Copies of this chain bind each other. A is one copy, B any other.
Amino acid sequence: MLAKNGKDTIVVGGGVAGCTAALYAKRYNLDVLLLEKTAPGGQVATAARIENYPGFPDGISGPELAERIRQQAENYGVPPQLAEVTGLEAHGDDWLLHTSQGDYVAATIIIAAGAHPRSLEVPGEEELRGAGVSYCATCDGFFFKDETVAVVGGGDAAIEEALYLSQLAARIYVIHRRDELRAQPYLQQQAFDQPNIQFIWDSVVTRIIGDEQVQALELHNKVSGEDSRLEVQGVFIAIGYVPATKWLGELLELRNGFIVTDQLMRTSQPGIFAAGDVRDTPLRQITTAVGDATIAARSAHRHIIG
């Protein structure tokens, strides 16, 4: 049943998944509202170069791809609207969404709110954020030209950050808590082949030191038990993502904070769907985000036509 006083569907999040869900929902001729908290684009907009999204054989910059997808949603008549969602609750057979711009009612909700980088939560991190502490090499790497920097993490994202920085910074230390990387072998090999990338294994950062700017890291080796100091001008933290799901409270079933769905992107509540990085999924890629989003839009349509 169509919402009487509202939208057929509200898409929460203006990144790749959100814009794709919105344009597909529009193709299903649903009345759609697309909400984004800050600037549209999501995590993709922070990527330097994307080579693995099919259709761009020479690669494309993250901000450019994000803008093209935002433009595409706008061409379909669903430009992202700025509003921060703060809560969601049942409203008869519909859903009531609380936002910074007021309340909205919709028959279905597609949550594509994404995820943001996880922080180390060590002394100095918050104080020196933007003063040498960064979560995005693409955004901030330029400020560290010919300097010495550290990357914290061992997954794909960490190694991609290190590889990106290897073209800018003089020296990059990759600090990883284990003695081997989780990153894809293809990426690992590239990192091992870069003479200006060095690895510090079995180690964690315990403190970020600096007055106005980052000057050094305090490290703890988990195997030897030794503490040491590493002089760096910048530190890039790439240890995973935190899904934007706190605003949901206890409404939906979550796993490690990510929204649990079935193959049709249905959550534990009828009429609420999830797509992209916010979803509990083995893989967070642009390709999987657009696939998720398409299925979520179809499921929203099916829910509405009942």
B-contacting residues of A (Cβ < 8 Å)?
A: 16, 19-20, 23-24, 26-29, 52-58, 60, 65, 68-69, 71-72, 74-75, 138, 141-142, 163-164, 167-168, 184-187, 189-190, 263-264, 282-283, 285, 287-295, 298, 301, 305-306
Contacts and interface: CB of A to CB of B under 8 A. Distances in A.
Nearest to A69: B54
Contact of A186 (B27, B74, B190): B27
A287 B293 contact: yes
Contacts of A164: 28-29
Contacts of A298: 282-283
Interface of A is mostly: helix
A23, A29, A53, A72 — most chain B CB neighbours (10 Å): A29
Contacts of A55: 53, 55-56, 60, 65, 68-69, 72
Given A168-B29, A185-B29, A19 B54 contact: yes
Contacts of A72: 54-57
Contacts of A27: 52, 138, 141-142, 184, 186-187
Nearest to A185: B29
Given A54-B16, A54-B23, A57-B75, A184 B29 contact: yes
Contacts of A20: 54, 287
A27 B53 CA distance: 12
Contacts of A75: 57-58
A213 to B, nearest CB: 22
Given A27-B186, A28-B185, A168-B29, A288 B283 contact: no
Nearest to A65: B55
A254 to B, nearest CB: 18
A287 B288 CA distance: 8
A75 B186 CA distance: 15
Contacts of A190: 305-306
Nearest to A28: B184
Which of A71, A186, A283 lies at the interface centre, i.e. has the most chain B CB atoms within 10 A of its CB?
A186
A291 B53 CA distance: 10
Contacts of A54: 16, 19-20, 23, 68-69, 72, 290
A233 to B, nearest CB: 18
Contacts of A186: 26-29, 306
A168 B56 CA distance: 31
B29 A52 contact: no
A57 B76 CA distance: 9
A197 to B, nearest CB: 13
Contacts of A293: 287
B264 A282 contact: yes
Given A20-B54, A27-B186, A283-B295, 7 more contacts: A19-B54, A27-B187, A28-B167, A29-B167, A53-B290, A55-B55, A287-B293
